[in-house]
Amino acid sequence: MSRHAVLEQRLGHRFGDGRLLEQALTHRSHGPENNERLEFLGDGVLGCAVADLLFERFPHEAEGKLTRWRAELVRAESLAELGRRLGLDELIRASPATPLTQSIVADAMEAVFGALFVDAGYAAVRAATALALEPALAGLDPSGPAKDSKTRLQEVLQARRQRLPEYRVSSVRGAAHQQTFEVECVIADAGLSTTGRGSSRQRAEQEAATAMLKKVDA
């Protein structure tokens, strides 16, 4: 079994050219045959696939909400969490002196989708995106508020000319593909803090922000 077999299984795609996947998982610190060009390609095709899936799944939602959801799903933080859930972070090749940052994991995730596009075309990218992002897509709530809790909290604090909150990961529990995050939301100037938990850092932050909104609006 190749070292990429589990990742391929989770993406629902067996690469015809395994060298593409290896390159997608290679950071520039490792050598000249790295993932930067595939990352560029993956950024475009992934954004298209996510827009396609949202358009199909939510036929009655307005453009503004679809745009916001797409931005949330493809932002670096979300892609890094997806990469960790898929076990991609354990496969990235980088120099020993290079710390495996959120940005590196997110870039590699984009590069994997770019490699998938080169290997098998858009249909394969769309299918893999649907499979990998199903938990996140299922969590989108059309009946929810027009703006997410983090955005609303930020706007409230900006209107009051207060410093923006900080989000700190308190703990991460569970296996890489089934983690539970605990995040603390802190407004230092006001001496306030709340905690949120979720299956991703993003969801935990939203939970913490929701709790904080109740405090600042009290």
Which residues are part of the catalytic machinery? 43, 110
Question: Encoding tokens for residue 110?
Answer: 């984009």
CB 179 within 8 A of CB 167: no
H or E, element range at 169: strand 166-173
Rg over alpha carbons for the chain, rounded to the nearest Å, is 19
Q: Which residues contact 146 (CB under 8 A, 6 or more apart)?
A: 64, 65
Tokens of 75: 């932002």
Distance CA 8, CA 53 (A): 21
Helices (H) and strands (E) in the chain, counts: 10, 3
> Phi and psi (nearest 5°) for 146?
-60, -30
d(CA 144, CA 15): 39
Q: Which helix (H) or strand (E) holds 181?
A: strand 180-187
